[in-house]
Chains A and B, each alone.
Chain A
Amino acid sequence: MAHLASDRERRPQELAAPGITPAPHRRIFSIVPGPRIWVPLLLVTLLLLVWEWAVNVRLLAPVLFSPPTVIAQTIAVSFADGSLTLNLGVTLLRVFGGLLVGGGLGVLIGMLMGWSRTVRDNTDPWIAAAHAIPKVAILPLFIFFLGIGEEPKIALAALVAFFPMLINTMAGVGQINPIHMQVAQNYGAGLPQLFTRVIFPGSLPLILSGLRIAFNATFVVVIAVEMVSGATGLGVILWRSWETLQVELLWSSLVLCGIIGIVFNLVLILAARILVPWQVRHQV
């Protein structure tokens, strides 16, 4: 979550005094920065080479470990014949459906709770209780209510996304400087304007970092749900490849999960640059 800004990131704010350059000068699409990427890239390459070598000389058992070249090949083939694309798409649809519904509600209720002490005092115990229930344990109940289609899966994903979004949004509202609320009030803002112009944008940095937590939690639960009750999805592929002892497919699916994580993280960083350019240290 929030980490302290390094000196590098903090500098522009303090140096702003003499040579301030007028906007627009913000670079948004500098996601692939120069020198910083080389060390991690080198480490990953090294790891892959050692892994490949270890499997080839039987240091790692090929029955349990597929070499990276085989994993890459499996992913490429599965993408080419469409089997992976479809399942990946279904999984992501469930994850994002859940994020949209549950996360959206979490943001709305979180803003209300952050804004009003009364709302917070009266809802906090309920939230604490509901949050403590393991979400996967509710799946049977949802299936009971909603049938065995997409509904219980997305409902569960939404429930999982709801809590981190709510808690982060509430914290986001809490860290808005009270002066900004006073300015809005003094300059004639009504309640709707207070929410759209102050409370929402003010809590946006923490909403975005909540999104990262919510995405990971939702992803985990969707995969788990697919393993037990799915006909499609990445979770089904993972489970079937274990059942049929297709170790290369198992590794491929895991690697794919990791790639999804990286891509979503990059998307969030980009979103933060576009949506909260005023936040010098991106909290995502």
Chain B
Amino acid sequence: MTETAPRELVCDRIGKTFRSQKRDILALEDVSFRVRPSEFLAIVGPSGCGKSTLLKIIAGLIAPSSGKLIFPEPETTRREDARPAPRSAMVFQEHGLFPWMTVLDNVTFGMEMRGIGKPEREERAHAFLGQFGIDAFAHNFPHELSVGMRQRCALARAFLTDPQILLMDEPFSALDAQSKLVLQVELLRIWKDHRKTVIYITHDIDEAVLLADRVLVMSGRPGHIRQEISVPLDRPRDLRDREQPRVREITWHIWQAIESDVRKSLQLPA
């Protein structure tokens, strides 16, 4: 990986203050990090540490109060696309799919917004729907699907939009433990083929270590980055890798960094 700045996403001393009539709340303070191209970055932290706020700032949904965000230079876009791909595409925890659109319309929404014609959208979509195992349900509505299938659609939509950076805000947190494991493996499998840059937010340490190349540990009040931990684990990975002593050690290390924060939030002695 070269260190030339335009190839990386740079978060430079990002700060966010929510102003209300009663008082100002400092949600983020001096958050700085870089994300390399094709890197899978996970951010873990206790609830309320500002990780979702950070992701929304990167997604352009809220503006930072201070600091700046530098996106990498966009790669050359396909000539036939009327508009370039968006810089980011976000996968939400739940309810991110439009209930009034079929699966097919949902997953092609990003392309539709870019002015890509319907035949081409659907052609590109079908390959992906197959990959995500939801091809047979292209004309179903989200409410007809299980939570796990809906989240697969949400992932398919984000990948299909082909953004510079994929943002995932605890995409599997609404799932039961077993489905979650299966979808983590699926995500690893699909990500391996596309190698998109990912910022993945979670409060599940095992999940972060299994998926990511690097884990940022966030701490709350105000939200800041406490530690950065690499996960030097070969890919492809699978669930068995979680049993490796190295992985156990990293997981324990992250837990120690977080524990005091969690205790504090529960009003327990450290």
Contacts and interface: CB of A to CB of B under 8 A. Distances in A.
Given A16-B144, A185-B61, A186-B86, A24 B139 contact: yes
B88 A186 contact: yes
Contacts of A183: 90, 92, 96, 98, 109
Contacts of A186: 59-61, 86, 88-90
A20 B149 contact: yes
A59 to B, nearest CB: 53
A206 to B, nearest CB: 13
Contact of A278 (B96, B113, B141, B147): B141
A16 B139 CA distance: 15
Interface residues of B, number: 37
B146 A187 contact: no
Nearest to B150: A16
B127 interface: no
B1 interface: no
Interface in A21-50: 22-24
B37 to A, nearest CB: 20
A11 to B, nearest CB: 12
B71 interface: no
Nearest to A189: B113
Contact of B110 (A12, A188, A198, A278): A188
Chain B interface SS verdict (over half) = loop
A10 to B, nearest CB: 11
A118 B109 CA distance: 29
B221 interface: no
Contacts of B146: 16-18, 20
B86 A188 contact: yes
B217 to A, nearest CB: 26
Contact of A12 (B83, B95, B144): B144
Interface in B55-109: 56, 59-61, 83, 86, 88-90, 92, 95-96, 98-102, 109
Of the candidates B59, B113, B136, B139, the one having the most CB atoms from chain A within 10 angstroms of its own CB is B113
A174 interface: no
Contacts of B145: 16, 20
Closest 5 CB pairs of A and B: A23-B139, A188-B113, A201-B100, A17-B146, A278-B141
Interface of A: 12-13, 16-18, 20, 22-24, 177, 179-180, 182-190, 193, 197-198, 201-202, 204, 276-280
Interface of B: 56, 59-61, 83, 86, 88-90, 92, 95-96, 98-102, 109-110, 112-114, 136-147, 149, 157, 161
